[in-house]
Amino acid sequence: MRKCGNRKEIHRLLLLGLFLIGSAAVVDHPHFGKTVTASLPGPVELSVRYSTVPAQEMDTEGAPLGKFLNPRAPILELSETVRLDSTEIPSGNYTIGLIKNGSDDWTLALHPGRLRQKEVAVTPNIILLNTLSSRSSGRSDHLVIDFNPGTGRFEGKVVLTLHWGTLFLAAEISR
């Protein structure tokens, strides 16, 4: 009798294990790396590498003011130096981050090189981009970064966009 009870117990544990593994596969959804590239006249190539981070990973409402925040260190790569009105961005790699200036006032910024920390102090080597921020552009469940033709005050310029949760940022990246 004792052996039969052990077999049933082992059978139940195996079934429970399979159920738990199957449940995790159904509940968990994939997050993956993306690369977005834009070729500009000049020739300048802009490229962004990032992960599809869930919007709830960072609370933008409760984010600290005046800190450089980055959602899993998205990287902007510039093949050539880019000149904006009063800013020059040398070729190279930059970690893309956000700086909260107020409840609905954000700035997209670039930190030279790859930054591993999620939050750092704003220092003079961080490049602040001319940014429009909005919370009325719908909701994105995962981080989306792209390059787009500018509109409104960014008409005729290339714009780097970041949409995460209800936060939408657009910043001039090239003229």
Residue 22: pLDDT over 80: no
pLDDT digits over 28-81, tens only? 566 789 999 999 878 899 999 999 888 876 778 788 999 999 888 999 999 999
| Residue ranges covered by each domain of the chain | 1-29, 31-174
CA distance 170 to 37: 17
Residue 106: pLDDT over 90: yes
Residue burial 74-96, b: 16+ Cβ < 10 Å; e: rest? bbbebbeebebeeeebeeeebbb
- pLDDT tier at 1, thresholds 50, 70, 90: very low
One-letter-per-residue 3-state SS of the chain: CHHHHHHHHHHHHHHHHHHHHHHHHHHCCCCCEEEEEEEECCCEEEEEEEECCEHHHCCCCCCCCCEEECCCCCEEEECCCEECCCCEECCEEEEEEEEEEECCEEEEEEEEECCCCCEEECCCCCEECCEEEECCCCCEEEEEEEEEECCHHHCCCEEEEEEEECEEEEEEEEC
Q: Taking the CB of residue 37, how many other CB atoms lie within 10 A of it?
A: 12
